[in-house]
Each structure stands twice: as C-alpha cells, then as structure tokens.
Amino acid sequence: MFCSLKAGDKGKIIDISHVNHLVQRRLLDLGITEGSEVCVKCIMPFGGPVMIESCGQCIALRRKEAVQIEVEKL
Amino acid sequence: MEIALIGNPNTGKTSLFNNLTGSYEYVGNWSGVTVEKKVGVFKNNIGKLIDLPGVYTLNPLSKDEGVVTSFFLHDSFDRLLNILDASQLERNLHLTLQLLEFDKPVLIGLNMIDVANKRGIQIDAAKLSEILGVPVAPVVARSGKGCDKLVDIIGTKSMQPARKNLVYYGEEVEEAILALSNEIKGETGHSRRFLAIQYFEGNEYVKKYLHQMASSEKLTAILTNLEVSVQQRYNVKTLANFIYLKRKETIDKMLAEVVSKNGEVVPLTEKIDRIVTNKYLGVPIFLLFMYLMFELTFDWLGTRVSDALDAFFSGPLTSWLEAALTVVHASAFIHALIINGLVAGVGGVLVFVPQIFILFFFISLLEDSGYMARVALVMDRIMESVGLNGKAFIPMIIGFGCNVPGIMAARTIETPRERLLTILLTPLMSCSARLPVYALFVGAFFATHKAIIVLSMYVLGVVVALILAKVFSSTLLKSETSLFVIELPPYRLPQFQSLWRSTWDKGKGFVRKAGTFIFGGSVFIWLLSYAGPAGLNVNMNHSFLAGVGSILAPLLAPLGFGTWQAAASLITGFLAKESIISSMNIIYFAKNDAGLQGLLSHYYTPLAAYSFMVFILLYIPCLATTATIYKETGSKKWTVFAVVYALAIAYCLSFVIYQGGKLFGFV
C-alpha cells in the first residue's frame, strides 16, 4: 500500500486498477502505470496531496487516490 | 501554408511559438496555459503557425484537450510541428506516434536538449529522425537556439508523410482496423487507420465523428468483438490499455537505439522544492510572497511612480492643454470637455498604469518560473475541503490580474462541475481594474496602512469565494467526482524578455481600455453631468446624472454611501471597474486624484469608505467578464446567476460591515 511509504521511500507500482478511472487515465498519460518505479518526494499535512517522482518528472495527486495504488516497497 | 504546433504541456511550445513568429504571445509554465487557439505568422512569412493547447494524447479528458481533437477532425491544416521535451522523451513519443498515424506531414522540434544533457541523457537526433521517418531538429526554445534551422526545414523540405506503420498492434487489432476502414470507406478525408485506433481507445470525439458517417451498430459490434478477443487472448484489462502497451513497446525499442544515459545529478529543482513545498512552510511561504508583491506594488515602488504621474497630469499637462486651448480659441464647451471630462477621466485611470504593470509582472513571474503548479499543490487541501481542487486556485490568481483570462484558464480543470464553480467564483478575485479604486480610497482614508488594507480586500475576495464554493458545492452543484493530478514542471529561471512580453501583453489591455472604453465613458458621463432637464452647463446637482443617481441612492444609504454621486459612479463601474475613478473625478470636479482624495473626506467616513471598497470588490462582474462567463458556460442561467449572487453578497457584506462597524463605534 502506498500509505506505508514515507517521504524519500521508493516503490514499484503493482496494481493501479482500484483508482478512479479518470485519475488512472491521467497517470497513464504521464507514463505512470503498473511496473513504474516511483519515489515519494513529499506528503502534505492534514491529508493533503502527495508529490511523487517517476522517470524524472514530479507529479502531485491526492492522498485518497494515492492510497488506492498498490505499491511494493523497494 | 498552415502549420499546427502541438506537444505535451510544459514542453516550451509557447516559447517556440514566440520565437518562430516573433509575436507578443503569452508565455507560461503551468499545465495548459495556452487555453485559446492562437495564430501567428512566421517571421519569414512562409505561413501561419497555429498554437494548440498542450496535450498528452489525442484522446481528451478535459475540454481544453478536446479543442485539439476537434481541431484535428474538423479544421484543415497542412503540416504538424510536434515539439518534444528531450528530457521526457518516452512520454512525449506516445503523442508523436498518434500524430504519425494521422498521416499528415510531421516535423519534430526536439526541445530542452540542454536540460536532458544536464540530467545525463544524450539523444541521437539523426537516428530518431531515421526511425520515425520524419525530420527532427534540435532546438532550445527559450533562447531561440536552433529555431532558424527549424524554419529552414519547414520552408524547404517537402515532408511527405512517412507512410509506414510504426506500431504493429497485433493481429486482432489490425484486422479490426481494416474492418472499420471498410465501413467508412469514401466517407472521410482523414486517415482511417488513425480514426479506427482512436475509436478503439475510447476517444469520444472520434466516436461522435464516426457515428455520423456509418451505422453505429456495425461500428459498436466491431469494437465489442475486438475488446472481447483482446481481453481473452492477452489477459489485459482494457483495449485502451492494450493499445497503450503496444505503443510503449515500440517506444522502448526506439529509445534503446536513440538514448544513452550516464550518471544522474540531483537537479536544483528538487532542492528548491524541498523548501517551497515543505510540509509546514509551503502555505506561509506562499503568503509571504503575496505580501511582498503587494508591498512592492503599493508602498515601496508603485505608489511613488503613480504619484509622480498624477502630479504631471494635473500640473504641466493641464497647463499645456489650457494654453493650447486658449491659443486655438476653443469654445467654453470644448474647454470644459477636455479639461474636466477627458483629462480628469482618462488621466485619473492612466495614473495607475505603473501599479498595474508591477502586479502583472509578478503574476507573469509566478507563471513563468514554475511556482504556479506548486501553489496548486500547496492549496489543494484547502480547496478540496470546499469542493474544489488545487488547480482552481490558478484561475483565481490569474484573476487578480484580470478576471477574463482567469475564467478562461478554468478550462484546464477536468471535471465540468469544478470548472463551472471556478468560473462562477473567479469574478470575486480582485482584479487590477479594481485596484485604482482601492489605491484612491486608501490614500484618502488609510494612508498609514495602505498595503494591509488593500491586502485585506484581496483576502476578503478569496475568503468569500471559498465560503461560497462550499455553499454552492453542497447545494446547487453536488457531485462526488473530483480529479487532481498535476504535473510539477521543473523550475526555470525566467527570462527577462519573455517576462516583459507577458507583462506587456496583459497590461496593454488596460491601456487600450483607457483609450477606448474609459475615453468614451468619460465623455458620456461628463455630458450627463453637464446637461440637465434645464439645458446645458447646469449645476451638477440638477444634471441628468444626479437624477439617475438619486433614484438608487436611498437603496445604498444603509451601506454608508447613499449619495447620488456614489450611485452614478457604481453604474459606470459595470462597463469597467476603473471607470468608477473616472466618473468620480468628473462628478466631484477634481483635476487630479490627489484633489479627489481631499474632496472625498467630505463625503465618506473611513468606515463608509471601507464599506464602499468591499461593495466594489464584490458587486458585479464587469461587462467583459460577464460576456466571458456566458461564452465559457454557454448558459444564460448561470450568467445571470453569477451577476445576481455577486450583487446580493456585496449588499449583505457591506451592510454588515457598515452597520456592524457603527455598533462598535467606528466611524
């Protein structure tokens, strides 16, 4: 689960299918899908968005969507 | 020759557009700053360049992206100029593959080679060109390096479509493409392969287009059959995902030949991000930046320049004009029209040009540096709690400059509900045209706390917008879906030239308005104040203007400014907010803003002045904004709603402030 990652941790996405399909599509546009390696850069306070890095680009998404992404810690 | 410029967001499309066309275009750095179709003429006149909004794929999610797909389906153009970000080649090539399927001549501009090199990525452009079968020209769009060569290639090479299918989508898909192509044979001038693949990917625009020309049952049958067979044989979730993976396979093969990597370095961007998007410091840093912006605009720099300009208009300029009018023996009527009508009206507004340009400069700086996307990130939690998302904050900040581009910037918000909500609330952002009114009143009543009082107006606008967002999203516009995925582009050192262009581009509208709207309005207002039922050159209290104003004045009395002068100037404020100042200068017979400030203290108490400022902040979107709301929502109902709710809120709030203030003994 994504929530087990802390800022600075790296992970590999295993399953993204539980996420809202719009979010899924947008992540796919940005090249983030199953098998992508991500690094958590920053987690905003009070349940705010998370900032992740994948293949040299930074992306922010909401916490509630991020926790639905199945991640394997690296 | 018409050439369409297309690429992912944040690839430097707009910078390239400016370099190639030499026009004054708007340059920004947050996702999708190009919200309108813009056309420029190439510097060497070889044709027209059309700037399209940034998209990741031709299968659209937001209305902004839909613009591009509609353009491909319904407009004609000769060539495509595809700009790629060399540091994000993999992602960018997904779009390129779709463009090549469209079968129009394509030319590729490989941008940000310098950024890629810094990250240790080397790209063999010649090899890339060979594999794709189209010309590839390396460029640095920000500095203009390589642009000449790009123009040469556009002008000379014939650029025949490559006509080779780069991606093989597998037996089943290829068969379905043929089947679908047969159904629409002779019906369309576009590449049928392109249409079929987009249709299989679930592109709604293409679906609508195809269903117009062929039986929708047959097409749907092809699609469902294909979906079933692909899912069974390859064990993938959706057909769209399968198509994506096929493209990715091709791209990975391509990249293996074209790209070589060596050691990575931590970019400066990450170091800055550790501070500005820091857990706890993010919001305070943003507020501090806004505070500095207002201090500079009002106290430290802007006001001094404005005061000097004001002194010039009322002193030397007026005496020169008076001398000139005497020399040509102008009639008393012309004399009064020019000195009391035009110099007072137009001059009173032009005085604020320095302050407005400083404000626009900072907004351009925010956009151009890449900080804007971080603001969206930092603000998302607050926006989410009122039923909006962080992206809605960007139109609001742009709205500080002018509400019209702010409302247009709302197009990048993917969900229709959040977009409508943002459009309705952006007019509450205090635009630069309201600024002259504040500047005038704080100068007269709150000279010691100028910046803080003006800042309170901006904050009030934002707070009211947030509260209303909560109210509207839990009553009128209920819905669950909300989407927030935002790309954070790397920081870029803003270049002075592009900053200046973008500041001037925004600010010139204000100057132009002073020359047209305000000019005409000033003459009109002056005439209304000069003429009355008794004839010309009447005492102003018996003029037509006083007559109209006094009808409304009693309504405004509970707010603290129940004079016909205030009512009359508020009516003109609907045309343009800054014309409130012009009208007041004319009505109060003031030669300059300094004189007007002195006079105002006879008519307003400080509390009434604050109440008046709040009323002006909220009371009505100006004419141009109302027209934009109508254009963007396409709904008379919502346009009327935007005007009516603003009036109601302004009246209530001013009432509470004035009456409440009186209770607590303020005057």
Is A60 in CB contact (< 8 Å) with chain B? Answer: yes
Q: Using CA atoms, how far apart are residues B158 and B439, in angstroms rounded to an integer?
A: 58
Write out chain B residues lying below 8 Å of A45, CB-based: 279-280, 381
What was the pLDDT predicted at B32?
Answer: 46
Mean pLDDT of A2-9: 77
- Window from B22-31, B110-119, B437-446, B636-645 with minimum mean pLDDT: B22-31
| Nearest alpha carbon to residue B468 among B337, B642, B314, B590 | B642
Taking CA–CA distances from A17, the nearest residue in chain B reads: B237
Work out the mean pLDDT of chain A and round it to a whole number: 84
What was the pLDDT predicted at B30?
Answer: 44
Q: Residue A44: CA atoms inside 13 Å, Cβ hemisphere, count?
A: 27
Helix residue ranges per DSSP H, B157-281: 171-183, 192-201, 204-213, 216-234, 239-258, 268-276
pLDDT over threshold 90, residue B153: no
Record the tokens describing residue A45, joined without a space.
């306070």
CB atoms near residue B482 (< 10 Å): 22
What was the pLDDT predicted at B658?
Answer: 93
CATH 2.30.30.90 is the classification of domain A2-73: yes
- Strand B48-51 relative to strand B2-7: parallel, antiparallel, unpaired? parallel
Is A43 in CB contact (< 8 Å) with chain B? Answer: yes
Is B235 in CB contact (< 8 Å) with chain A? Answer: no
Work out the mean pLDDT of chain B and round it to a whole number: 83
Is A61 in CB contact (< 8 Å) with chain B? Answer: yes
What was the pLDDT predicted at B464?
Answer: 94
Question: Which of B87, B90, B483 is closest, CB to CB, to A31?
Answer: B90
Q: Do A45 and B280 touch (CB under 8 A)?
A: yes
Question: Which of B57, B90, B487 is closest, CB to CB, to A59?
Answer: B487
Q: Using CA atoms, how far apart are residues B90 and B397, in angstroms rounded to an integer?
A: 33
B485 vs B414: which has the higher pLDDT: B485
Which of A10, A27, A38, A57 best tests the B interface by mutation, with the highest count of B CBs <10 A? A57
Is A35 in CB contact (< 8 Å) with chain B? Answer: no
pLDDT category at B264 given cuts 50, 70, 90 is low
Contact B176, B201 (CB under 8 A): no
CB atoms near residue B249 (< 10 Å): 12
Q: Do B273 and A46 touch (CB under 8 A)?
A: no
pLDDT in tens, B166-190: 888 888 889 999 888 888 888 888 8
Is B378 in CB contact (< 8 Å) with chain A? Answer: yes
Q: Using CA atoms, how far apart are residues B582 and B342, in angstroms rounded to an integer?
A: 9
Q: Using CA atoms, how far apart are residues B31 and B400, in angstroms rounded to an integer?
A: 19
Record the tokens describing residue B10, joined without a space.
């944040």
- Strand A70-73 relative to strand B259-261: parallel, antiparallel, unpaired? unpaired
Residue with tokens 């020019």: B338
ipTM of the complex: 0.89
Taking CA–CA distances from A26, the nearest residue in chain B reads: B485
When mean pLDDT is compared over B277-291, B445-459, B589-603, the highest value belongs to B445-459
What was the pLDDT predicted at B640?
Answer: 95
At residue A72, the 3 state secondary structure works out as strand
Percent of chain B with pLDDT over 70: 93
Q: Do A59 and B278 touch (CB under 8 A)?
A: no
pLDDT in tens, A30-74: 888 888 888 888 888 888 888 888 877 888 988 888 888 888 888
Contact B195, B184 (CB under 8 A): yes
**Residue B145 pairs with which residues in a beta bridge?**
B140
pLDDT over threshold 50, residue B29: no
Q: Using CA atoms, how far apart are residues B169 and B612, in angstroms rounded to an integer?
A: 66
Q: Do B380 and A45 touch (CB under 8 A)?
A: no
- Strand B259-261 relative to strand B2-7: parallel, antiparallel, unpaired? unpaired
Contact B384, A62 (CB under 8 A): yes
Is A14 in CB contact (< 8 Å) with chain B? Answer: no
Task: List domains and CATH numbers for chain B.
Answer: 2-156 (3.40.50.300), 171-261 (1.10.287.1770), 285-479+496-663 (no CATH)
Q: Using CA atoms, how far apart are residues B667 and B665, in angstroms rounded to an integer?
A: 6
What was the pLDDT predicted at B28?
Answer: 47
pLDDT in tens, B343-357: 777 777 777 778 778
What lies within 8 Å, CB to CB, of B473 at 6+ separation is B386, B387, B388, B417, B421
Residue with tokens 């720099």: B301
Cα separation values, B537 from B47, B333, B541, B599, Å: 57, 9, 11, 22
What was the pLDDT predicted at B623?
Answer: 80
Residue type for position B164: K
B313-B314-B315 Cα angle (round to 5): 95
Cα separation values, B402 from B302, B472, B623, Å: 18, 23, 12
Q: Where are the domains of chain A?
A: 2-73
What was the pLDDT predicted at B197?
Answer: 93
Q: Do B61 and A22 touch (CB under 8 A)?
A: yes
Q: Using CA atoms, how far apart are residues B564 and B543, in angstroms rounded to an integer?
A: 11
What was the pLDDT predicted at B37?
Answer: 65
